[in-house]
Amino acid sequence: MIDLAKLVSTTPLPEENKKEILDQIPNLTPDKIFDLTNMCWDLISSDVENKLRIEAEKMLLDPSLPLLKEDLNKKEEEMFQELISKLSAVDDQEKIDEIKQKLEESKNNFTTQT
């Protein structure tokens, strides 16, 4: 399982919000921890999706760049590896699989809500 403090620290939030959340972790109920974990994964997933969308738009706007699905897949993998590094889970395949699963679940939840 991914450490909640690392997850919060990796979430794209203002630093003061992260600090406030991190300070409250010891006092959270299991339900609040569950909600916080889901919120973090949703925000991380949305951030990755937004960054990928920006990269795709750059490719569309720059005729010198080929628009290849492989390029977007490569960029997505780079972002995923960066996320793994931030969560310090690089050497643990179980954690890597968990990260992939959580991102995919959050991505699916986000697309079904919109």
| Separation of alpha carbons 87 and 113, rounded Å | 27
Cβ(33)–Cβ(1) under 8 Å?
Answer: no
Burial class (CB in 10 A: 0-12, 13-18, 19+), 40: buried
**Residue 70 belongs to what domain range?**
4-113
Q: For residue 90, what pLDDT is reported? A: 44
Note the pTM of the prediction, 2 decimals: 0.70
Residue 103 has pLDDT above 80, yes or no: no
Q: For residue 42, what pLDDT is reported? A: 92
| Separation of alpha carbons 31 and 54, rounded Å | 35
- pLDDT tens track for 42-93: 999 899 888 888 887 877 777 776 666 677 788 888 888 888 777 775 456 6
Q: For residue 97, what pLDDT is reported? A: 77
Q: For residue 91, what pLDDT is reported? A: 55
| Number of domains forming the structure of the chain | 1
